[in-house]
């Protein structure tokens, strides 16, 4: 049985960007406000027929949902989720997501599954989803919102840039380059100093959210660590560029801890690169 590359990278460390940025604050992010109304959608396919599962992948979605509720104070109706199923199931969910959109609202959309080197996406059952069909689905959701921030937490994620065709209001944020694998980590099995790297983030999750997940994606932990640093350095606002810089600094600290780890870069597509996430309140 051949597992997706993501499952094999057990030692790797792990998105909503604004919610993770707010992770450095006390509950409800007092003194800060969102730059625009925000909806959060999380979708993950972690169970597959005939191959190993990705058991830690859903935890990054849980992280974003918890932060949006506890830190941002988002009502449940503005936190939307999809978990496991066929490509047809997923596309129907996207249609509902688009139907509920509002032109003055930003959508932050985190998605995780196993993506193949040619950009095809695996689902729990049935055929893979072609990358062109995936991009068309994202565009339908984007057309119903002011802006869409796509956090694509998949292996070979930036392969989608070669294919192209996104609407201008879609900012793409990738967990891996086209020739890289993404990674899950189960904390109790992580050697090489990964536990030491993750300890401050896990302590914050226990203290602030009363939550201690068994693991997370590499992207999830980079978002959490990078977001906390970006808020410390961000002044009156935090934008995508400062967050990406902070996340890559977190990756460098990780590589210092784990000499055997492959260097992995967070990739931000160029559109809307100065997208402001949070502003200091009046």
- pLDDT digit string, tens, across residues 170-215: 999 998 889 888 888 777 776 555 667 778 888 888 888 889 998 8
pLDDT at 120: 96
Mean pLDDT of the chain: 81
Cα 146 to Cα 38, 75, 77, 142, distances in angstroms: 10, 19, 18, 7
Give the distance, in angstroms, between the CA of residue 62 and the centroid of all CA atoms in the same chain: 11
pLDDT average, residue stretch 255-274? 70
Tell me which of 23 and 249 has the higher pLDDT: 249
Q: Which two tokens stand for residue 193?
A: 């100093």
Confidence label for 77 from pLDDT (cuts 50, 70 and 90):
low
Query: Is the distance from CB of 216 to CB of 182 less than 8 angstroms?
Result: no
Please state, as a whole number, how many other Cβ atoms lie within 10 Å of the Cβ of residue 171. 24
pLDDT average, residue stretch 141-156? 94
Closest by alpha carbon to 155, among 124, 137, 177, 136?
177
Cα 167 to Cα 147, 150, 220, 271, distances in angstroms: 10, 12, 25, 10
Q: CATH number, domain at 49?
A: 3.40.50.1460
Confidence label for 7 from pLDDT (cuts 50, 70 and 90):
very low
Tell me which of 34 and 40 has the higher pLDDT: 40
Give the 3-state DSSP-derived string for 48-110, with helices as H, strands as E and coil as C. Answer: CCCCCCCCCHHHHHHHHHHHHHHHHCCCHHHEEEEECCEHHHHHHHHHHHHHCCCCCCEEEEE
> For residue 60, what are the domain limits?
5-280
Tell me which of 3 and 241 has the higher pLDDT: 241
Q: Which two tokens stand for residue 87?
A: 């490509």
Q: How many domains does the chain have?
A: 1
**Residues near 252 by beta carbon (within 8 Å), at least 6 away in sequence:** none
Q: Is the pTM of this model over 0.85?
A: yes
Tell me which of 246 and 143 has the higher pLDDT: 143
pLDDT average, residue stretch 18-47? 68
Cα 77 to Cα 27, 146, 171, distances in angstroms: 20, 18, 23
pLDDT over threshold 80, residue 113: yes
> Residue 143 — left, alpha, or beta (φ > 0 → left; ψ -120 to 50 → alpha)?
alpha
Closest by alpha carbon to 185, among 210, 207, 214?
214
């Amino acid at each position: 049985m051949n597992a997706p590359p993501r499952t094999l990278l057990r030692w790797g460390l792990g998105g909503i960007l604004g919610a993770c940025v707010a992770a450095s604050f006390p509950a409800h992010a007092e003194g800060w406000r969102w730059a625009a109304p925000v909806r959060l959608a999380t979708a993950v396919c972690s169970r597959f027929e005939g191959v190993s599962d990705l058991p830690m992948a859903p935890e990054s979605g849980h992280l974003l949902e918890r932060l949006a509720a506890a830190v941002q104070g988002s009502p449940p109706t503005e936190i939307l989720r999809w978990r496991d199923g066929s490509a047809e199931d997923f596309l129907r969910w996207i249609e509902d997501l688009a139907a509920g959109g509002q032109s003055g609202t930003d959508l932050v959309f985190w998605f995780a599954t196993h993506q193949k080197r040619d950009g095809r996406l695996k689902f729990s059952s049935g055929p893979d989803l072609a990358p062109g069909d995936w991009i068309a689905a994202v565009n339908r959701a984007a057309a119903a919102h002011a802006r869409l921030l796509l956090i694509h937490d998949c292996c070979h994620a930036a392969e989608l840039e070669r294919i192209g065709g996104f609407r201008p209001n879609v900012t793409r944020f990738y967990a891996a380059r086209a020739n890289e694998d993404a990674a899950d980590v189960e904390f109790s099995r992580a050697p090489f100093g990964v536990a030491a790297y993750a300890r401050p983030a896990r302590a914050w999750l226990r203290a602030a959210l009363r939550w201690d997940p068994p693991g997370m994606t590499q992207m999830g932990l980079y978002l959490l660590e990078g977001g906390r640093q970006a808020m410390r350095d961000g002044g009156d606002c935090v934008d995508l560029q400062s967050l990406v810089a902070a996340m890559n600094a977190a990756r460098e600290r990780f590589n210092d801890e784990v000499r055997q780890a492959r260097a992995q870069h967070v990739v931000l597509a160029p559109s809307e690169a100065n997208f402001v996430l949070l502003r200091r309140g009046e």
